[in-house]
Amino acid sequence: MQIKGNTILITGGGSGIGRGLAEAFHQAGNKVVIAGRRRQALDAVVAANPGMEAVTGDVQTAAGVTALAAEVAAKYPALNVVIHNAGIMRMENLKDIQAADVEATVSTNLLGPIRLTAALLPVLLKQPQATILTLSSGLAFLPLTATPTYSATKAGIHSWSQSLRWQLRDTKVQVIELPPPYVQTELLRPEQATDPDAMPLAEFIAEVMQILETNPAVEEVLVERVKPLRFAEVNGTFPKIFAALNNRGY
């Protein structure tokens, strides 16, 4: 992936990692379009970043994805990068499963990227070079048991990204996976944004951009703080880290 000169769509761009990536790519010299459900949040980001644009869209439903993809394809025919960042994370008690929470998480985190990729792939295939960047999670490799469906959807995104990369290997569409560690955002709850155990958002974004700039052919963007989770199984540290993570309390 080239670090500048792209037309980029970032879902969930109104806050957290999505906003951080949007602003970093905007400053690097890209046409950035952010998408999300909350128009007020999107407008605040655009106002703070002149030249950035926004579209309202909901990736949780098939109809929402269809509408979003149609608008983006019509307005931005030069689109060559899609960053699947939109996601939700909810705590769950598996002894008392709330189907609505489970279905919303699967629809947003897993079906959303699958549907949106299918809808926008014809546009991407027309470009001289293109990129699909999926956000999985360190929890794709070692689950947080308090958020079982979230962890499962991110494991699904990891697996799906590998298959997508293989199937597109003979095209000019690159597939990159970005698994964040625990980052200071409000994804799980507001207190997460100031949790000293979480990686500061600005540091995470800076490290991600450095990796993309220095290694354009990268397949997985791994910041140092996610590596203990990413390689826990390989390194034989899975039981120890699993216990420490899930005994922490949430």
Q: How far is CA 233 from the centre of its chain?
A: 23
Place of tokens 């919303």: 104
> Among residues 82, 4, 21, 7, which one has the least CA distance to residue 223?
21
Given a contact cutoff of 8 angstroms between Cβ atoms, the answer to whether 173 and 125 are in contact is: yes
Q: Which of 76, 150, 182, 250 is catalytic?
A: 150
Active site residue 150: yes
Instruction: Give, in order, the Cα–Cα distances in Å from 238 to each of 139, 180, 222, 234.
Output: 12, 18, 18, 8
**215 φ, ψ to 5°?**
-135, 75
Give the pair of three-digit tokens for residue 7.
């037309």
Give the pair of three-digit tokens for residue 121.
């792939």
The one-character DSSP state at 61 is: S
Residue 114 CB neighbours (<10 A): 16
In terms of C-beta density within 10 A (0-12 exposed, 13-18 middle, 19 or more buried), how is residue 247 classed?
Answer: exposed
Cβ burial 235-246 (10 Å sphere, 16+ → b, else e): eeeeeebbeebe
**142 φ, ψ to 5°?**
-155, 105
Q: Any idea which residues carry the catalytic annotation?
A: 150
